[in-house]
Amino acid sequence: MLRKELEMLVENREKMRGGDGIIKIKNLFKAEELRGKTRLIAEVTIPVGGSIGYHIHENEEEIYYFISGNGEVDDNGVRKQVSAGDAMLTGEGKGHAVYNTGNTPLILMAIILLY
């Protein structure tokens, strides 16, 4: 199935998971269209100064692949710098948060896989 960009569902979430700013989520496919154990596959844009608040992943894991921009992550209680080309995996009851500390939007791919 080919999905053109203009056909993708775009959501804007304010203060996502208790974070700051309005986060843009471009869903490549809807969960019900994915036959594998996948809950989300989306491009996420975090504006300058914005963030996705700290949250825990139980019975699932989330992969972030950073496409552009710079920022910081809270990787289960440890703050680390991230930039384009970095990837992050969180699951098994651990948590994470993402902060755009750069001067341009922080864009990442997010995939949530279910156990």
C-alpha gyration radius of the chain: 14
For 78, residues 6+ apart whose C-beta sits below 8 A from its C-beta are none
pLDDT for residue 60:
97
Residue 2 lies in a domain: no
Residue 72 lies in a domain: yes
Record the tokens describing residue 92, joined without a space.
């098994």
pLDDT for residue 87:
98
40 secondary structure, DSSP code: E
Q: Are strands 106-114 and 60-68 parallel, antiparallel or unpaired?
A: antiparallel
Range of 109's domain? 9-114
In tens, the pLDDT along 49-82 reads 999 999 999 999 999 999 999 999 999 999 999 9
Q: Which residues of the chain have pLDDT under 70?
A: none
Give percent of the chain with pLDDT exceeding 90: 98
Residue 4 lies in a domain: no
Residue 41 lies in a domain: yes
pTM for this prediction:
0.95
- State the total domains in the chain: 1
Q: In CATH, what number is assigned to the domain containing residue 60?
A: 2.60.120.10
